[in-house]
Amino acid sequence: MRRPSLSPLLLALTLALGTSMTAHAQTSPAVAVAADSTLLNISANAEAKRVPDVATLSAGVVTQAVDGNSAMRQNAEQMVKVLAAIKAAGIAERDVQTSGVNLNPQYRYVENEPPKITGYQASNTVSLKVRDIAKLGKVLDALAAQGANQINGPQFEIDQPEPVYDEARLAALKKAQSRAETYAKSLGLRVRRIVSISENGGGNFRPVMMRAAAAPMA
């Protein structure tokens, strides 16, 4: 199986710095500010990219039989082979979790007659995390070869995203601070301190406020 091509994942954060030039910011009423202070509302966003290093997917077995016991038994026998293939691929037990086991009747519908059960369908699905993406193609091939007839994915992720978010946070904060200084200077003010900081990804703005006070006269 061809190895999926990888593109860098983009993690984006947006920071905002308050908005009113009054003593109280409408977006953050819980923040108390002295009456002689001014709040500057500034927003800034930044992005950080990394190539994904983890793939997640789900694999399962679906079987059908005339009765429920047979459907479940056949499913269990086939699932043992699938789990053995997962283990042989070097995937740790902590990276494999059962997603669901289901048994459902199959019906035949005829007009003007009640539904009639014609058999049963059993399904068993596990989710797994592949930490060595170079082996992903072989893992998928092995799953299919050992009877997995329901495979969804893969989805690519960054295993430890927090350092990447931190990189975006610092970049966004530097932008916000620089903009606050620019606006404050043009208004004859100076930025004294950050009152509060909040963040959001995906472009939804939440307030980050910095306190400004009148600059001393020359």
pLDDT digits (tens, 9 = 90+) for 86-141: 999 999 999 999 999 999 999 999 998 999 999 999 999 999 999 999 999 999 99
Cα distance between residue 75 and residue 147, in whole Å = 10
- Asked whether the beta carbons of 209 and 15 are under 8 A apart, the reply is no
Torsion of CA 205, 211, 216, 217, to 10 degrees: 40
CA-atom Rg of the chain in angstroms: 28
- Asked whether the beta carbons of 188 and 215 are under 8 A apart, the reply is yes
pLDDT of residue 191: 78
Given a cut of 50, whether residue 11 has pLDDT beyond it is yes
> Domain locations in the chain?
10-51+161-214, 54-157
pLDDT of residue 13: 57
pLDDT of residue 31: 39
| Closest listed residue to residue 124, CA positions, set 84, 85, 156, 76 | 76
Could you give the C-alpha distances from 159 to 3, 16, 96, 166, 203, in angstroms and in order?
A: 19, 28, 15, 15, 23
Cα distance between residue 197 and residue 162, in whole Å = 17
Retrieve residue 64's tokens: 């059908």
Distance of CA 135 to the CA centre of its chain: 23
Cα distance between residue 8 and residue 52, in whole Å = 6
- Asked whether the beta carbons of 177 and 165 are under 8 A apart, the reply is no
Given a cut of 90, whether residue 166 has pLDDT beyond it is no
Average predicted confidence (pLDDT) for the chain: 79
Given a cut of 60, whether residue 214 has pLDDT beyond it is no
pLDDT of residue 24: 29
What average pLDDT does range 41-48 have in this prediction?
82
Retrieve residue 212's tokens: 């400004």
Given a cut of 60, whether residue 203 has pLDDT beyond it is no
- pLDDT bin (cut points 50, 70, 90) of residue 188 is confident
What average pLDDT does range 141-169 have in this prediction?
91
Cα distance between residue 77 and residue 82, in whole Å = 9
- pLDDT bin (cut points 50, 70, 90) of residue 45 is confident
Of 30 and 160, the structure prediction assigns the larger pLDDT to: 160
Q: Which CATH class is domain 54-157?
A: alpha beta
Given a cut of 90, whether residue 195 has pLDDT beyond it is no
Count of beta carbons in the 10 Å neighbourhood of residue 192: 12
Given a cut of 70, whether residue 209 has pLDDT beyond it is no
Cα distance between residue 180 and residue 71, in whole Å = 66
What percent of the chain has pLDDT above 90?
45
pLDDT of residue 51: 86
What would you measure as the largest C-alpha separation in the chain, in angstroms? 94
Cα distance between residue 103 and residue 113, in whole Å = 24
